[in-house]
A and B are shown apart, each in its own frame.
Chain A
Amino acid sequence: MNSVAIAGGLFGPPQTISKEAGSLNTAVGYRYHEDTYKNHADYVLRQNQIYSQVAYGAYKRWEIYGRIGLSDLKIFDAFRSTDVSTTTSKDHFEENWKFFGTLGAKGFYPITSIFGVGAFLQGSYTFGKFTDETAGIHNTTPFAADLEVKNLWDVNFGIGFQANVPFGIKLYGGPYVYYAEADARFSDNIPGLPFGTEKTLLKNKSAVGGFFGADIPLAKGFRLNIEGQYTDRFSFGSAISYTY
């Protein structure tokens, strides 16, 4: 079994940015995500995600949200052969934009007017499948085959601590746990290549990470959210939100 981390976007500040009486807020965001998985070798996975989010929150205590977005996928060395008798035209698996959706909910409890603590639960699923093809030679016999990665989903649960600092800025951070998996299948069994015709279940290697970020008010109801996440590798993202 291989392991991989495929997470679905920013977590945001623990406290909703919706109005106290209850209102919608929307956002557009981008996230650069990297992680590693290890089994026979270390592989690096990379995703660029862009998404649109709609959320509803109230009382400055709770929020539910949904996202729809596009994500690419790159798995480094997915086609790299470990057998000298096999050579491939390229080493990396790479596929462009596929739709993904995210649902989440968060709750917040203000301890003082400055500090508070909250928790969130967030899950994502990528629709469709990522595929990429490689060609090569095995023992002087040419071959062409493709790798298919599908059913990518993840679920994250975290606890966030928030501090309200001057100028309406919210600083936050905390630990989170997550689980992610995806199915990978190669169209042929080629000696030396890491995937075969048997379905391979990819799972996250490290289950725990940390996140930190800032939510900064801009003008005319817009806010800027910047966030970093760390598991095996560093990921970061940014979103601009608007409160109705």
Chain B
Amino acid sequence: MRYYLLLIILFMTLAAVYAPVHCVAAEPEQVPTDAVSFQPVLPVQTGDVPAKSSTQPADVVSDEYDEEDDFDYEDEPFAEERVTIADPIEPFNRVMHRVNDRMYFRLLKPVAQGYKAVVPEPARISVKNFFSNMGYPARFLSCLLQADFSGAAVETGRFAINTLWGIGGLMDPAAGEELGLRKQDTDLGQTLGVYGVGHGLYIVWPFFGPSSPRDSISLVGNQFLSPLSYFYPWYVSPGVIGIQVINATSLRIGEYESLIGAAIDPYVAMRNAYIQYRMKEVNARKAKSLLFKSSEASHPVADTTSRTEN
């Protein structure tokens, strides 16, 4: 545990020192629309994201695009969005990527496949709905902090309706055609992103998968705000979270395989997909924020977060 904390501190320090080093991600063709805030293993967070891979070292790639830093994207509203993230601990990340990859194929996927064989899909969707409903406090707080008050109201309405008429959250009547209250797919990491906090650097956590110091705060904060973290005795919560992970994976088997199958370098593909996905989420949240909505409207492809994160 002590080493784990030391590692986190080390990453934060490295983030500050190495932040000017960039890697560039290509524009993905598709972005997942329903990722869970908790990142059990890589595929849950990234989904089906074909990505152009790069086998070049991070420094070479960043140097290439450093020359283009003077390019005025604001003048070309439909220019391709470029997303950057520092990756100074790439060797460590690649090891963790491999560890997570092995864990997925040798442990999580077989378990999820067995679970999938036993539990019918409607039941697994209901379990997913239940856990999603439990994520209400984090989404509600994130909406409030982002000054997205209509989103906070929608989340509250969803929670009340799904808890009362959705059998404790197992069903999702709020998202039905008649009510149309869609889940506000947000978290505390996005909240920091909305306020201009950059990723810092790219980190691949063992088990939790792709992240960054900013999104790691989200990872901790979301768990802190989840009622599932407060079961007694202590070992119940990890068990419940394990079920959540297995259930989510059972609904996404094949997505991770598609991503790495199409990539020359799965690590780079994953990194690109992750950073693109998070950037799009942050931009989507900015568009809903009362504080940033007007400025977003005047800059249709504004990507200030990703371009200023150094």
Contacts and interface: CB of A to CB of B under 8 A. Distances in A.
Interface in B209-231: none
Given A242-B173, A244-B171, A52 B178 contact: no
Contacts of B164: 26, 28, 52
A98 B176 CA distance: 33
Given A242-B173, A244-B173, A26 B179 contact: no
B178 A26 contact: no
B178 A220 contact: yes
Contacts of B173: 26, 221, 242, 244
B166 interface: yes
A27 interface: yes
Contacts, number: 29
Q: How many of chain B's residues touch chain A, expressed as a range?
A: 10 to 19
Of B165, B168, B171, the most chain A CB neighbours within 10 A belong to: B165
A28 B162 CA distance: 11
Contacts of A54: 167
Contacts of B171: 24, 26, 244
B165 A28 contact: yes
A28 B164 CA distance: 6
A168 to B, nearest CB: 15
- Helix, strand, loop or mixed for chain B's interface? loop
Interface string A19-43: 0000010111000000000000000
A24 B171 CA distance: 10
A36 B94 CA distance: 74
Interface in B119-136: none
Q: How many of chain A's residues touch chain B, expressed as a range?
A: 10 to 19
Contact of A221 (B166, B167, B168, B178): B178
B165 A27 contact: yes
Contacts of A24: 171
B68 to A, nearest CB: 51
A27 B173 CA distance: 12
A241 B173 CA distance: 12
A117 to B, nearest CB: 29
A26 B166 CA distance: 7
A139 to B, nearest CB: 47
Nearest to B164: A28
A44 B173 CA distance: 40
Interface string B132-169: 00000000000000000000000000000100111110
Contacts of B167: 26, 52, 54
Nearest to A66: B167
A241 B165 CA distance: 7
B170 to A, nearest CB: 9
Interface in A189-244: 220-222, 240-242, 244
10 contacts: A24-B171, A26-B165, A26-B171, A52-B164, A52-B167, A221-B173, A221-B179, A222-B165, A240-B165, A242-B173
Interface of B: 161, 164-168, 171, 173, 176, 178-179
Interface of A: 24, 26-28, 52, 54, 220-222, 240-242, 244
Given A52-B164, A220-B179, A242-B173, 6 more contacts: A26-B164, A26-B171, A26-B173, A221-B173, A240-B165, A242-B161
Return the 5 tightest CB-CB contacts between A and B, nearest first: A242-B165, A220-B178, A26-B165, A28-B164, A221-B178
